[in-house]
């Protein structure tokens, strides 16, 4: 058996099952072995039913009379049954788990683990997990729980695993750094733990393996980048000084540092591969404009790619204003651009120095005469392929210098692993005169009493308001207020104000018009989904309300909040929560801090890396184990990767490893 054999070679997996597995990304034996349990249920030491006490319990018995009925609440089914052991019987209920009817047979004995609680006038066991008793015996009481994939439930995966016990023995080592056999035993113990401690050890090895792969991928990326050629862009101090003198403000210290790093980087004949990180409003665009000016001075072309038409035109307005007085020709290219062919001819001839645009500029017929610098705003919004398309637009044999900008701060641990191949510049200083944003958590029912007076005051001061909603339309199943119904309510309650709504299903041209009216101050309140999230700059907006705040990630709320506080007036952010539950730690952190880097670290700790990856990278990287906050393990893996790379023959010897990391390489690289 080989790890890269298809799953159908496994015992008990026929073509139909294999098809479902494949659909869920489990294609090979390796994928199958690495489909790790999401958790473990401890069925050790069951109590007898007669002795159960309210709270978490484990019992063992037979189940009968399993039936499903609709509930009074819509879209809910209740599956009920009676569990018996020698000492007595207890009622059991599951919600929306009709499959339990088929899964559970009255002949077999099962272990159940769940909450024993008082509901609708009697005690019952609520939504327990369960496993066949014979199966549990095999595993010393600790039972893995697998994520269900379509029709395949956790129990099915346990069955497949049981059938496959023999294959663990043929799992080879992945790299020479670790004692031989560690991998096979870690994988085995992850699926068949014999104690809590063995789970911990197994996961520690697997986390290490993942880190090793990530770091190796990122180091190899760097090596590969070093092999590429780029055109060196000489730094012209005199001209840059002149440019800076014409600005209405002086650069912040952080901006100066970042610009200096970029200019030095572009002087090399190896492509720059740099990430410019800075909190919202820290002035990244200014730095990008300066770098662009440098490249254009040296006789080359530049392009800036933005994720939305609104952002692209905002960049266009800002940057063309800055560069026009130096005789530089800047053009905007989005889906809505008229006379595209004419513009593209000019780009091809080199009559245009800088093209700012959206996805529309990625098409093959957008050709440059001499593209030397690519700037990507909010780079995580773009896929690898899209970024690569841009890179290919440089003259043959040359790669462009690349500057990616992001307002999502990357925690240091991620930087060391996933983004280790990038050079990073950080804008950790806001331009002077920025007003702080006060953040307050409010319950939805407090809107009228507490938020309305603030809105009145904001409108009275001729400032503007963003109101962010989760959904576009009303959905009877959820209680979230949609963009449209919030818009109606506000219109009703503030009849004198001009209020518009905005969402992602509108046509780009329509969105642009609405956004423009808001940015010109013709609209006072903009009710919107998160389409306003990235980069939009309306300094006169000083209040933002975010509904259903609990449903967003920390980083995303921080981004949204950055829509205000961009002018000279103090701004306010209100995080609205539905229901009665007290606000989560995440929201309270937002109340306390406005430091994006700090918040990113908190997010990493509270939610694990999956969340942050999701924000950072398109096609989120699927980390099997939350381990990126483990700095000790990261450092060990880093050292081991360095040792590994010192012996070039390792790369030939450890074929599985080298093939496995290509997926990481694609995700982590920019060029």
Interacting residue ranges for Mg ion, rule: CB under 5 A: 285, 535
User: Rounded to the nearest 10 degrees, how much is the dihedral formed by the CA atoms of 415, 421, 423, 427?
Assistant: -20
- Using the Cα atoms of residue 106, residue 135, residue 53 and residue 129 in order, give the sign of their dihedral: negative
Phi, psi of 587 (to 5 degrees): -65, -35
537 binds ligand ADP (CB under 6 A): yes
Give the residue from 401, 427, 426 showing the smallest Cα distance to 415: 426
Residue 286 CB, shortest distance to ligand ADP, in Å, is: 4
| CA distances to 230, 312, 355, 386, 639 from 305, in Å | 19, 7, 8, 10, 37
Stretch touching ligand ADP by CB under 6 A, among 123-131, 257-265, 276-284, 578-586: 276-284
Helices 309-324 and 508-519 cross at an angle (nearest 10°) of 50
Binding mask 379-408 for ligand ADP (x = CB under 6 A): ----------------------------x-
Give the residue from 432, 371, 360, 373 showing the smallest Cα distance to 405: 373
Binders in 615-654 for ligand ADP, by CB under 6 A: none
Answer for which of 144, 281, 357, 565 binds ligand ADP (CB under 6 A) is: 281
Residue 661 CB, shortest distance to ligand ADP, in Å, is: 33
Do the beta carbons of residue 78 and residue 69 sit within 8 Å? yes
Give the residue from 218, 277, 293, 570 showing the smallest Cα distance to 409: 277
Which of the listed partners (Mg ion, ligand ADP, none) does 255 bind, with a CB threshold of 5 to 8 Å by partner kind?
Answer: ligand ADP
Answer for which of 284, 359, 401, 486 binds ligand ADP (CB under 6 A) is: 284
User: Rounded to the nearest 10 degrees, how much is the dihedral formed by the CA atoms of 229, 231, 234, 235?
Assistant: -80
Stretch touching ligand ADP by CB under 6 A, among 246-254, 294-302, 328-336, 491-499: 246-254
Binders in 251-270 for ligand ADP, by CB under 6 A: 251-252, 255
144 or 281: CB nearest ligand ADP: 281
Answer for which of 50, 87, 195, 249 binds ligand ADP (CB under 6 A) is: 249
Stretch touching ligand ADP by CB under 6 A, among 44-52, 229-237, 274-282, 454-462: 274-282
Q: State the DSSP string of 259-277.
A: HHHHHHHHTSSS--EEEEE
Give the residue from 410, 413, 411 showing the smallest Cα distance to 627: 413
Residue 381 CB, shortest distance to ligand ADP, in Å, is: 14
Answer for which of 198, 285, 458, 529 binds ligand ADP (CB under 6 A) is: 285
71 or 568: CB nearest ligand ADP: 568
Residue 420 CB, shortest distance to Mg ion, in Å, is: 25
Do the beta carbons of residue 352 and residue 376 sit within 8 Å? no
272 or 534: CB nearest ligand ADP: 534
Residue 285 CB, shortest distance to Mg ion, in Å, is: 5
Residue 46 token pair: 């069951």
Alpha carbons 628 and 414: distance in angstroms, whole number: 7
Query: Residue of minimal CB distance from Mg ion?
Result: 535
79 or 285: CB nearest Mg ion: 285
Do the beta carbons of residue 43 and residue 97 sit within 8 Å? no
Which of the listed partners (Mg ion, ligand ADP, none) does 132 bind, with a CB threshold of 5 to 8 Å by partner kind?
Answer: none
Which of the listed partners (Mg ion, ligand ADP, none) does 283 bind, with a CB threshold of 5 to 8 Å by partner kind?
Answer: ligand ADP
Q: State the DSSP string of 77-114.
A: EEEEEEEEETTEEEEEEEES-TTHHHH--TTSEEEEEE
Residue 88 token pair: 């007595």
Residue 251 token pair: 């650069």
Which of the listed partners (Mg ion, ligand ADP, none) does 167 bind, with a CB threshold of 5 to 8 Å by partner kind?
Answer: none
Residue 318 CB, shortest distance to ligand ADP, in Å, is: 6
Which of the listed partners (Mg ion, ligand ADP, none) does 280 bind, with a CB threshold of 5 to 8 Å by partner kind?
Answer: ligand ADP
81 or 535: CB nearest ligand ADP: 535
Residue 472 token pair: 């576009």
Residue 382 CB, shortest distance to ligand ADP, in Å, is: 17
Alpha carbons 102 and 407: distance in angstroms, whole number: 50
Residue 139 CB, shortest distance to Mg ion, in Å, is: 53
Number of neighbours of residue 218 by Cβ within 10 angstroms: 24
Give the residue carrying structure tokens 């880097």.
597
29 or 427: CB nearest Mg ion: 427
83 or 259: CB nearest ligand ADP: 259
431 binds ligand ADP (CB under 6 A): yes
Residue 7 CB, shortest distance to Mg ion, in Å, is: 45
Alpha carbons 91 and 89: distance in angstroms, whole number: 7
Using only the alpha carbons of the chain, give its radius of gyration: 29
Residue 79 token pair: 């599956």
Answer for which of 128, 141, 283, 294 binds ligand ADP (CB under 6 A) is: 283
Stretch touching ligand ADP by CB under 6 A, among 107-115, 121-129, 282-290, 649-657: 282-290
Do the beta carbons of residue 49 and residue 90 sit within 8 Å? yes
535 or 565: CB nearest Mg ion: 535
Residue 408 CB, shortest distance to ligand ADP, in Å, is: 12
How many Å from the N-terminal Cα to the C-terminal Cα in the chain? 37
* Count of residues that interact with ligand ADP, criterion CB under 6 A: 16
Strand residue runs (E) in 341-435 = 354-357, 371-377, 401-406, 423-427
Stretch touching ligand ADP by CB under 6 A, among 137-145, 146-154, 273-281, 492-500: 273-281
Contact set with ligand ADP (CB under 6 A)? 249, 251-252, 255, 278, 280-286, 407, 431, 535, 537
């Amino acid at each position: 058996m080989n790890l890269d054999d298809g799953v159908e070679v496994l015992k008990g997996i026929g073509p139909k099952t294999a098809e479902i597995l494949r659909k869920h990304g489990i294609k090979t034996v390796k994928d199958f072995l690495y489909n790790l349990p999401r958790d473990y249920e401890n069925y050790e030491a069951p109590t007898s039913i007669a002795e159960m006490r309210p709270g978490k319990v484990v019992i063992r018995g037979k189940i009968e009379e399993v039936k499903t009925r609709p509930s009074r609440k819509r879209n809910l089914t209740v599956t009920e049954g009676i569990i018996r052991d020698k000492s007595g019987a207890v009622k059991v209920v599951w919600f929306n788990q009709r499959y339990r009817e088929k899964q559970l047979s009255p002949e077999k004995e099962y272990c159940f683990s769940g909450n024993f609680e008082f509901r609708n006038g009697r005690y019952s066991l609520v939504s327990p997990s369960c496993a066949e008793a014979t199966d549990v015996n095999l595993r010393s009481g600790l039972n893995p729980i697998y994520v269900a994939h379509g029709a395949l439930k956790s129990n099915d995966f346990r069955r497949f695993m049981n059938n496959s016990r023999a294959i663990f023995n043929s799992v080879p080592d992945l790299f020479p750094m670790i004692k031989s056999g560690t991998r096979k035993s870690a994988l085995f113990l992850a699926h068949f733990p014999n104690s809590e401690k063995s789970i911990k050890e197994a996961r520690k090895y697997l986390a290490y393996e993942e880190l090793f792969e990530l770091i190796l991928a990122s180091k190899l990326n760097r090596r590969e980048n070093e092999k590429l050629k780029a055109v060196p862009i000489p730094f012209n101090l005199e001209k840059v000084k002149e440019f800076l003198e014409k600005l209405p403000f002086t650069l912040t210290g952080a901006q100066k540092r970042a610009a200096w790093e970029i200019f030095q980087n572009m002087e090399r004949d190896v492509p720059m591969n740099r990430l410019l990180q800075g909190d919202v409003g820290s002035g990244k665009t200014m730095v990008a404009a300066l770098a662009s000016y440098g490249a254009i001075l040296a006789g080359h072309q530049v392009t800036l790619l933005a994720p939305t038409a609104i952002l692209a035109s905002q960049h266009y307005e800002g940057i063309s204003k800055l560069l026009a007085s130096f005789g530089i020709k800047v053009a905007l290219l989005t889906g809505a651009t008229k006379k595209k062919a004419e513009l593209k001819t000019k780009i091809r001839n080199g009559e245009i120095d800088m093209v700012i645009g959206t996805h529309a500029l990625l098409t093959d017929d957008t050709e440059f005469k001499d593209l030397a610098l690519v700037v990507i705003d909010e780079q995580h919004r773009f896929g690898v392929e899209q970024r690569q398309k841009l890179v290919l637009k440089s003259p043959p044999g040359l790669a462009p210098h690349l500057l990616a900008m992001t307002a999502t701060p990357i925690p240091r641990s991620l930087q060391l692993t996933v983004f280790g191949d990038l050079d990073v510049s950080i804008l950790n200083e806001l331009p002077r005169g920025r007003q702080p944003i006060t953040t307050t958590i409010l319950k939805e029912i407090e809107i009228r009493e507490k938020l309305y007076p603030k809105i009145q005051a904001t409108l009275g001061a001729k400032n503007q308001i963003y109101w962010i909603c989760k959904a576009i339309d009303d959905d009877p199943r959820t209680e979230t207020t949609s963009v449209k119904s919030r818009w109606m309510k506000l219109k009703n309650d503030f009849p004198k104000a001009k209020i518009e709504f905005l969402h992602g299903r509108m046509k780009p041209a329509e969105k642009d018009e609405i956004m423009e009216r808001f940015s010109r101050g013709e609209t006072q309140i903009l009710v919107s989904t998160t389409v306003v999230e990235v980069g939009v700059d309306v300094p006169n907006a000083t209040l933002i309300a975010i509904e259903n705040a609990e449903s967003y990630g920390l980083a995303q709320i921080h981004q949204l909040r950055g829509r205000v506080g961009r002018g000279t007036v103090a701004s306010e952010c209100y995080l609205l929560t539905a229901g009665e539950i007290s606000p989560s730690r995440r929201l309270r952190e937002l109340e306390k801090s406005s430091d994006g880097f700090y918040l990113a670290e908190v997010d990493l700790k509270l939610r694990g890396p999956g969340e942050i990856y999701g924000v950072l990278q398109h096609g989120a990287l699927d980390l099997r184990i939350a381990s990126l906050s483990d700095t000790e393990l990261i450092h060990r893996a880093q050292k081991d990767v360095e040792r590994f790379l010192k012996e070039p023959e390792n790369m030939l010897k450890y074929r599985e490893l080298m093939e496995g990391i290509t997926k990481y390489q694609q995700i982590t690289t920019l060029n």
